Structure 1
Amino acid sequence: MFRPQVRASFGRREAEALVALAGPGGEDRLRDEGLDALLDDPQVFRAFLRRPTLSLVPAPLAFYLFVRHAFLARQIRARELADYVAAVLLEFGSLGRARDPDAEALWQLGRTARGVYLVDVALALPEADGERAFWLSVHLGNLALWVAGLFPDYVTARVRRRGAPGLPYFDSLGAAGFRSAAAMAWAERHGLQGVLATAAERFPELRAALNDLSDEVFFPRPSDAVERLLRQVEDAFRRAN
């Protein structure tokens, strides 16, 4: 079952990695200021990015640092949002759930398909009820955030070459999925009502922060720099108006 508890899972290994990244005095800071002081420290994040291989940092910690600092750069300070989105990226990135979600997300939709599209999930929702409808709605939001957040160049290229839906489409469907899930009783039962409601309200901001992460860290060398710049300018203008 999908659980946005990345930060709560941190133990000795993650603490030792943070202390090493913090450098001299890191152990004292951890003891005196707590884990969040190191997690939120820009210098710790810069040290993390400078490491010759990110594989030396536990994957949950790496994803949390990526998301937390992308969000902080856009003044998104709620830790529960960073925790939730880090869990989404960790889940989809490590288990391939974006392409082949399991029964917890799609239940009996019956797709082991190579591509699961937002429309597949949206079309399954009217036939769903109870907890199945809840997890389908959650998956709709998660999938929209994963695709539009980390692969905006891919989305934009499909718009220009094939007339496919653009980022506003992903924003709309993703927010609708989270909003629908937050309104269900299952959201409260799973302790997700608050974070899902906030994710729905702030979906374009969350997606834009992940775009920053994608552009600056994951894929810093675009195949078409002009197209990326146009996408960034168009998206900033659209969200400001």
Structure 2
Amino acid sequence: MNPKITHITEKDIEILAQKLGKNQKEKIALIHLLKQEPEKIDQILDFESIKRYILEAPSPIPISAQLYFQYLGRLALGKRGLKNQELISYITKLLMRFLKMDSLAPFYRLGSRRNFVRMSDLLLSLEKTAGSMQAYRLHHFIADYSLFVCGLFKENIERCWNGSPGMEFYESLGMRSYALAASYPEAQKNSLQGIFSFLSAAFKEVRFALNEIQEQFFHFSDISPSPYDS
């Protein structure tokens, strides 16, 4: 398992060094250290001054979304004994992937527009898929999508508007899809077999961590209740 935090920007490193260094010499040394050994960033995120800066700053802070999600994932997962860098990095990438406007399309009411993905469409596509690679990609996407929906749109799912599936459906689908994705040689080839198996077993605990992140730090409006159908 590689504990290295990836895709942290130079600006992130400079900000962390500025917050921790007591003088200019220390700040320069920290910048050099973090550029050479970015895995040290994980240790720095434990400092109380960094926690206050990220969570208590009165205005938007200039750190990257990658570092922000990394910190929130680390905080929420750590409370549940899931302080595993591979898991934290995976959840960070999942949030980065789906929290884009084009990826949020399934949750918006878009009138007559029907060119957005629905869970029912994905499942139908899976039934028609013969190729191993495409089936693997669909299982992977459905698993991630289910975790994202359960984690960040819990209240919408629990309403079960228009007879749409409830939380149990998405949890079961997510757990099964991660397990199936882990069984493909593509998962082993991409070093994802272990994390898929773990997410299949710990789906609910990870979902609870995402629920906490959403409740405390994210706020959505004008969201459609279910991505299962429009």
| TM-score between the two structures when normalised by the length of structure 1 | 0.73
- SS at structure 2 position matched to 1:200: helix
Comparing 21-30 and 163-172, the one that deviates more: 21-30
Q: Output the CA distance in 2 between the equivalents of 1:54 and 1:114.
A: 33
3-state SS in 1 of match to 2:58 = coil
- 1:87 is aligned to 93
Structure 2 regions of 5+ residues with no counterpart?
A: 107-112, 221-230
> Which SS does the other structure have where 1:34 is aligned?
helix
Residues 178, 199 of structure 2: 8 Å contact kept: yes
Partner of 1:147: 149
CA positional deviation for 1:21: 4.4
Q: Show the counterpart of 1:217.
A: 217
Any residues of structure 2 matched to 1:150-189 within 5 Å, and which? 150-157=152-159, 159=160, 161-189=161-189
Task: Give 1:214 deviation, angstroms.
Answer: 0.8
> Which stretch has the larger CA shift, 113-122 or 66-75?
113-122
State the one-letter code of the partner of 1:133.
Answer: A
Q: 1:9 aligns with which of 7, 14, 22?
A: 7
Quick one: structure 1 residues 149 and 42, their matched pair in 2 at CA, closer, same or farther if it must change by over 3 Å? farther
Measure how far apart 1:77 and its partner are. Answer: 1.2
The answer to whether 1:70 aligns with 2:71 is: no
Distance in 2 of aligned mates of 1:189 and 1:204: 26
Match of 2:17 in 1: 19
Tell me which moved more, 174-183 or 37-46. 37-46
User: How far apart, in 2, do the equivalents of 1:121 and 1:23 lie?
Assistant: 50
Aligned to 1:117: 118
* Secondary structure, aligned partner of 1:56: coil
Asked whether the 8 Å contact 2:175–2:199 carries over to 1, the reply is yes
Report SS of the residue matched to 1:7: coil
Q: RCO higher in 1 or 2 (8 Å CA, sep ≥ 6)?
A: 2
Distance of 1:86 and 1:23 partners within structure 2? 27
Q: TM-score, normalised by structure 2?
A: 0.76
Identity of aligned pairs, percent?
25
Provide the rounded CA distance (Å) in 1 between the counterparts of 2:219 and 2:16. Answer: 25
* Aligned partners of 1:121 and 1:140 also within 8 Å: yes
Separation in 2, partners of 1:168, 1:41? 38
Secondary structure of the residue that 1:57 maps to in structure 2? coil
2:104 & 2:193 partners in 1: Cα distance? 22
Q: 1:151 is aligned with what amino acid?
A: F
